[in-house]
Amino acid sequence: MFKTKITKMLGIEHPIIGGTMMWLATPEFVAAISNAGALGIIASAMFSEKEEFRKAVKKIKSLTSKPFAINLNLFPSLRAIPNEDFITVIIEEGIKVVETSGHKAPEEYIDRLKKAGVVVIHKCVGVRYAKKAESLGVDAITVVGFENGGATGILDTGTMVLVPRVVEEVKVPVIGGGGAVDGRGFLAVLALGAEGVIMGTRMLMTEECPIHQRVKEALLKATELDTRLIMRSIESTHRVWFNAAARRVLELEAQQAGLPDIVSMAAGDKAKKMYETGDIDLGTIACSQGIGMIRSVKPVAEVIKDILAQAEQIRQRIKNM
């Protein structure tokens, strides 16, 4: 229905990329996204060593014959992330798509990945970062506007402006996102010049997403006003659902607390416990302003089917104007 340079490059049915979700990107969830015709991505930073990571990769391969990707985390971390070891596994296991994301371009890894025939997508938040990554030889660029959940960067540029600006400035295909949760957002991002659409928050609200039902029920009640930017004071701005944990982080920042205190409060282990126990105020969870447009929790395949059907209806309506 919607065939683009990205569907051809990645070998996927639909130009939809599932957003990388730390602690949530289980093999089962990643495979469900890929089996629905989109691209599932597993976060390698969830793992502490390569054989644990390899086991997860093999599990995904057992659950789907469709393409999936590995995310390499280039953000600052409290613990060392063994990306070189992860790349060894990627090459040995024959994974053909890698997404890099973080505060820097994948300069130290690009040659090794490209020599192994891996398609490299770099995710960033601004034109100058996209151009830098393109100059290194990446195959595609992902950009997400200020509305997005998770890392927003420091430029505060919305999707409506960011996507077409990057499309104007680079020659490689662009994947766009930031607030896109349905067929309207999907088609809008393609209309801005993108060849694919990345969706994280909508995938968060699916049956296969491994978060507690109480968390999903709370997020269903959220509006577009129920997100906040946290960790801006330590130059690691993230958009999250505004719960008690997010409020505590903002209070620490207002008190000019140091990096260890802020990071400890926003740490992923608290979020992981929240996902498992359903204690909705225990940790922070990334979500976009688009959370206010999500009305139901459905299987991934049904969500993607609905997105494409709505987008096609809009395309025909506009064509008939």
Say how far apart CA 4 and CA 167 lie, in whole Å. Answer: 14
Q: Which CATH architecture has domain 5-207+301-319?
A: Alpha-Beta Barrel (3.20)
Task: Please report which confidence band the pLDDT of residue 78 belongs to, taking 50, 70 and 90 as the band edges.
Answer: low
266-320 residue pLDDT tens: 877 888 899 999 999 999 999 999 999 999 999 999 999 999 999 999 999 999 9
Q: Where along the chain do its domains lie? A: 5-207+301-319, 213-284
8-20 residue pLDDT tens: 999 999 999 999 8
Contact (Cβ atoms closer than 8 angstroms) between residue 265 and residue 252: yes
Contacts of 214 (CB under 8 A, 6+ apart): 278, 280
pLDDT of 42: 97
Return the percent helix, strand and coil in the chain, to nearest 5. 45, 15, 40
212-223 residue pLDDT tens: 999 999 999 999
pLDDT of 268: 77
The separation between the first and the last C-alpha atoms of the chain, rounded to the nearest angstrom, is 21
DSSP-assigned letters across all residues of 167-218: HHH-SS-EEEESS--SHHHHHHHHHTT-SEEEESHHHHTBTTS-S-HHHHHH
Mean pLDDT, the chain, integer: 94
Task: Please report which confidence band the pLDDT of residue 225 belongs to, taking 50, 70 and 90 as the band edges.
Answer: very high
Task: Tell me the average pLDDT across 133-162.
Answer: 94
Q: How far is CA 154 from each of CA 103, 143, 288, rounded to the nearest angstrom? A: 10, 13, 16
Say how far apart CA 14 and CA 5 lie, in whole Å. Answer: 11
pLDDT at 164 over 90: yes
Contacts of 90 (CB under 8 A, 6+ apart): 57, 70, 98, 113, 116, 118
pLDDT of 176: 98
Among the ranges given (32-46, 65-79, 114-128, 130-144), the one the predictor scored with the smallest mean pLDDT: 65-79
pLDDT of 263: 82
Closest CA to 161 of 173, 148, 146: 146
Task: Tell me the average pLDDT across 157-185.
Answer: 97
pTM, two decimals, is 0.94
